[in-house]
């Protein structure tokens, strides 16, 4: 049971606190977990006595990364039960940052559990006195945790902690960004193969293609060889090199289409998210599609400047 019994005025079960729900919110550089409690008066000792609650929140079940999250602070005070059997609700809030959420995402294996240590004070005849509260373990299922992350807008930041790129660059880029957000959703759901499959779609959409239309492994190698050769004759800038990176990443993510889920691990999905997210952040479309014949068809380079091989 997600409940705590309050000791007040020598009465052990003067009031009951029950954790009902938890939601997430997003703010400026900080996010919040909001635990909603219901307080009920179980003895006259707790009636008509304003109470203030606070405490500490801990994440548990994360192996060696389990531990203290932050202070629990009541959103509105005081909490007052006006008579026997009366009930009221209040919210305890804990602030989190993106790094804390990232650690949780790296170590949870399904849902997540929180340990909430609650303390309090009450007003008696104009004086404040400590009241005995306690601690509860509050468990959030995987599906509910995914919804909370959405409420906190966690997935709207790339996992490399840079602002998600805008979708106004081109129609192709907007489509690619939608696929990437889908990949983040699959990652939150711990669907590793589907994460990489969505990234495969992301990389193809960047150049206006479908995943199955992209070139085979032999073409990736041919373009790489052509680009290396051309780099000895002229400056090959970031857009062309980034296109080669896109092709290589697409070749990597093609494994996400494999029907056996076990072929893709969490490490594979996480690495692919980081690399594709970094590519999206600075992507500049090339003027023409890069193929193994692109450089061969050029009679003369437009610039002559030696450069290092990519």
Mean pLDDT of 70-83: 91
Per-residue b or e along 128-150, where b marks 16 or more CB atoms closer than 10 Å to that residue's CB: eeebebeebebebeeeebbebbe
pLDDT digits (tens, 9 = 90+) for 192-230: 999 999 999 999 998 888 888 765 666 667 777 777 777
Check pLDDT > 60 for residue 269: yes
pTM to 2 decimals? Answer: 0.67
pLDDT digits (tens, 9 = 90+) for 8-59: 888 999 999 999 999 999 988 789 999 999 999 999 999 999 999 999 999 9
Residues 215, 221: Cα–Cα separation, whole Å: 10
164 pLDDT tier (thresholds 50, 70, 90):
low
Mean pLDDT for the chain overall: 83
What's residue 27's pLDDT? 84
- Lowest mean pLDDT: which of 2-6, 21-25, 107-111, 288-292? 288-292
- Among the ranges given (100-109, 174-183, 278-287), the one the predictor scored with the smallest mean pLDDT: 278-287
Exposed (0-12), middle (13-18) or buried (19+): which is 115, by Cβ within 10 Å?
middle
Per-residue model confidence (pLDDT) at position 295: 43
Q: Is the pLDDT of residue 249 over 80?
A: yes
The 10 Å Cβ neighbour count of residue 192 is 22
User: Up-side HSE of residue 163: CA atoms within 13 Å toward CB?
Assistant: 4
pLDDT at 246: 86
DSSP H or E stretch at residue 208: none
The tens digit of pLDDT for each residue in 117-159 reads 999 999 887 889 899 899 999 999 999 999 999 899 886 654 4
Those residues with Cβ within 8 angstroms of residue 112's Cβ, 6 or more apart along the chain or in another chain: 59, 61, 62, 104, 139, 140, 145
Of 172, 202, 221, the closest CA to residue 269 belongs to 202
Handedness of CA 186, 271, 238, 217 (dihedral sign): negative
How many residues are present in the chain?
310
Please determine, for residue 297, whether its predicted confidence score (pLDDT) is greater than 80.
no
pLDDT in tens, 48-59: 999 999 999 999
Q: What percent of the chain has pLDDT over 90?
A: 41
DSSP secondary structure of 284-297? ---SS---TTTTTT
pLDDT value for 183: 93
Please give the residue that has the higher pLDDT: either 259 or 210. 210
148 Cβ contact list (under 8 Å, min separation 6): 22, 23, 24, 33, 140
pLDDT at 114: 96
């Amino acid at each position: 049971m997600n409940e705590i019994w309050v000791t007040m005025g020598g009465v052990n079960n003067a009031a009951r606190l029950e954790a009902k729900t938890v939601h997430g919110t997003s703010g400026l550089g900080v996010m919040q977990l909001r635990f909603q409690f219901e307080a009920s008066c179980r003895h006259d000792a707790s009636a008509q006595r304003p109470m203030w609650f606070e405490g500490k929140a801990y994440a548990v079940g994360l192996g060696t990364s389990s531990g203290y999250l932050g202070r629990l602070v009541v959103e509105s005070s005081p909490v007052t039960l006006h008579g026997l059997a009366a009930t009221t609700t209040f919210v305890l809030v804990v602030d989190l940052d993106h790094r804390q959420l990232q650690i949780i995402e790296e170590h949870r294996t399904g849902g997540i559990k929180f340990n909430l240590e609650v303390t309090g004070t009450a007003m008696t005849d104009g004086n404040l006195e400590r009241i005995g509260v306690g601690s509860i373990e509050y468990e959030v299922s995987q599906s509910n945790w995914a919804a909370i992350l959405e409420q906190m807008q966690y997935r709207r930041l790339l996992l490399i902690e840079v602002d998600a790129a805008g979708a106004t660059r081109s129609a192709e880029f907007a489509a690619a960004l939608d696929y990437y957000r889908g990949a983040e959703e699959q990652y939150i759901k711990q669907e590793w193969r589907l994460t990489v499959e969505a990234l495969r779609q992301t990389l193809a959409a960047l150049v206006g293609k479908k995943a199955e239309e992209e070139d085979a492994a032999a073409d990736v190698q041919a373009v790489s060889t052509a680009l290396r050769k051309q780099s000895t004759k002229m400056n090959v800038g970031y857009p062309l090199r980034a296109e080669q990176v896109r092709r290589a990443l697409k070749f990597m993510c093609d494994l996400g289409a494999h029907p056996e889920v076990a072929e893709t691990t969490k490490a594979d999905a996480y690495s692919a998210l980081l690399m594709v997210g970094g590519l999206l952040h600075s992507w500049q479309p090339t003027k023409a599609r890069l193929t193994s014949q692109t450089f061969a068809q050029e009679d003369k380079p437009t610039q002559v400047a030696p450069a290092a091989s990519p």
